[in-house]
Amino acid sequence: MGPQSAPKSLSRRAFAAARGISEKAVRKRIAAGDLAEALLPDGTIDPEIADRLLAERTTAGKRVPAPLSAARLRKVRAHVATLQDRVAELRESVLTREEAATNAITARFIADRLARIPADAAPQVVGRSAGLIAELVREIVYAALDDLANTKITTTLGEDEKPPLVVSAMNAVALAAAKETLLAERLELRRALKRGELLDGEAYFGAFMQRISGLRTTMLGLPSKLAPHLAAAKDAEDARAMLKAEVDHAVEHLACEWITTEELIGGTAE
Span 138-162, mean pLDDT? 76
Same domain, 47 and 118: no
Q: What are phi and psi of 160, to 5 degrees?
A: -75, 115
Same domain, 128 and 215: yes
Q: Please write the tens of the pLDDT for every residue from 43-94.
A: 898 888 888 877 766 555 454 444 557 788 888 889 999 999 999 999 989 9
Same domain, 148 and 237: yes
SS3 39: strand
Domains held by the chain: number: 2
Residue 88 within a domain = no
This prediction has a pTM of: 0.60
Residue 75 within a domain = no
Per-residue pLDDT at 49: 85
Same domain, 106 and 42: no
Same domain, 151 and 212: yes
Same domain, 123 and 220: yes
Same domain, 36 and 106: no
CA atoms of 51 and 73, how far apart (whole Å):
15
Alpha helices in the chain, H assignment, sequence order:
12-19, 23-31, 47-58, 70-92, 97-101, 103-114, 117-125, 130-149, 172-195, 201-231, 236-251, 261-265
Element (DSSP H or E) covering residue 200: strand 198-200
Same domain, 134 and 234: yes
Residue 129 within a domain = yes
Residue 180 within a domain = no
What b/e string do you get for 149-177 counting C-beta neighbours within 10 Å, with b at 16 or more?
eeeeeeeebeeeeeeebebebbbbbbbbb
Same domain, 251 and 126: yes
Per-residue pLDDT at 244: 96
- Among 1-15, 69-83, 169-183, 222-236, which is the least confidently predicted range? 1-15
Contact indicator for 194, 200 with CB cutoff of 8 Å: no
Mean pLDDT taken over the chain? 84
Residue type present at position 268: T
The CA distances from residue 74 to 67, 80, 169, in Å, are: 13, 10, 11
Domain enclosing residue 234, as ranges: 96-157+199-265
